[in-house]
Amino acid sequence: MKLIHLSDLHIGKRVNEFSMIEDQKYILNQILEIIRKEEPDAVLIAGDIYDKSVPSAEAVEVFDDFLVSLAEAELPVFLISGNHDSAERLSFGGRILEKSRIHVSPVYHGETAPVTLRDSWGPVRVFMLPFVKPSQVRAFFPDREIETYTDAVAAAVESMDVDEKERNVLITHQFVTGSVRCESEELSVGGTDNVDAGVFEAFDYVALGHLHGPQSAGKETVRYCGSPLKYSFSEVRHQKSVTVLELREKGQVTVKTRPLTPRRDLEEIRGNYMEVTDRSFYETLDTDRYFHIILTDEEDIPDAVGKLRSIYPNLMRLSYDNRRTRGERAPGELRPAGQKKSPLDLFSDLYRMQNNRELSPRQAEFMKTLIEEIWEEG
């Protein structure tokens, strides 16, 4: 049985205030073309369908078009909610969609019934576990101690009717201990959302969502397929792909990837202002890409963003790398008395570097009040 594994579409996402909706339409069409060529038996989508729990009408329309294309191909589709989705909104109409072989995981209610597919080697049982927190799972297992994410997922998995003599696939959306994160993912404090990979031992393949870099978690058959697009500059070196897996007889699973090519790639360049605006520097670049430009000038360039966008129209981010931003001083250089910046000034500098604009008066007043409250509590 051949399955396509997708996740973290994040439809409707904006990256550095740039809408990615056209890029998402482009990449979803490319995924549909891969599906047509691979001729899978089903498609698994492991959460974070949308970027927000209340997606825009445009984002919903884009995903609706994608699902319609899959339904027209008469492909079974299995999808779960991730931490960015609203499980309630995503599962609305789920029982009606089942008639089109689109299976949407309901809001977690303590039970997870499998959907059974069949091929020449027999049944394949597909279990769907949406993103869950310990507090959600604890409510259904009052006699069990559930404090951590591992406790929660273990309780949910152990309550499933998994026949280990058969082939079993799990679709879930969690952070498995030891996996590699990147900036565009939602982080938890101190790694409290970690799930031990050992809880998935009963499954022949675990289709994971949540992390944007394609990678295996402990073993090849516990896998993140990654996001189809780069959603932060920490992903610049990622090769985005579609994961294709084949289950033959029990214990025989092969995994391969099909590369994806974005409408516009992300790229980082660095140098001083004169270098990056010199024709000999940029004439070999695809200047239509999304850029993060790191200037090494010691002084800020007035209206740098506006000037640079005349060459790099899709400049997403501008930052500086110099002695000031690294907090360095020349040998023997002393900080003059009274030059120490206030917390508000430091935050204003950071905001300017990250967003290429100043704090508004309202934002500045809010931050001032917040800093004062923190100072008083400290």
What is the C-alpha to C-alpha distance for residues 85 and 209, in angstroms, rounded to an integer?
12
- Using one digit for the tens of pLDDT, what is the confidence trace for 164-177? 999 999 999 999 98
Mean pLDDT, residues 21-38 taken together = 98
Which of the two residues, 67 and 345, has the higher pLDDT score? 67
Pair of tokens at residue 267: 């790229």
Q: Is the pLDDT of residue 16 over 70?
A: yes
What's the pLDDT at 336? 46
Residue ranges in 91-148 assigned as alpha helix (H): 94-97, 134-138
Q: Is the pLDDT of residue 279 over 80?
A: yes
- Using one digit for the tens of pLDDT, what is the confidence trace for 317-346? 999 999 888 875 444 444 444 455 778 888
Which of the two residues, 135 and 341, has the higher pLDDT score? 135
Q: Are 85 and 186 in contact (CB under 8 A)?
A: no
Mean pLDDT, residues 97-105 taken together = 90
For residue 7, what pLDDT band results from cuts at 50, 70 and 90?
very high
Residue 354 identity (one-letter amino acid): Q
CA distances from 326 to 77, 296, 298, 319, 350 (A): 49, 11, 11, 12, 12
Burial of residue 131, with CB atoms counted within 10 A of its CB: 0-12 exposed, 13-18 middle, 19 or more buried:
buried
What's the pLDDT at 186? 57
- Using one digit for the tens of pLDDT, what is the confidence trace for 218-266? 899 999 999 999 999 999 999 999 999 999 999 999 999 999 999 999 9
Q: Is the pLDDT of residue 184 over 50?
A: yes
Q: Is the pLDDT of residue 187 over 70?
A: no
What's the pLDDT at 329? 43
What's the pLDDT at 325? 84
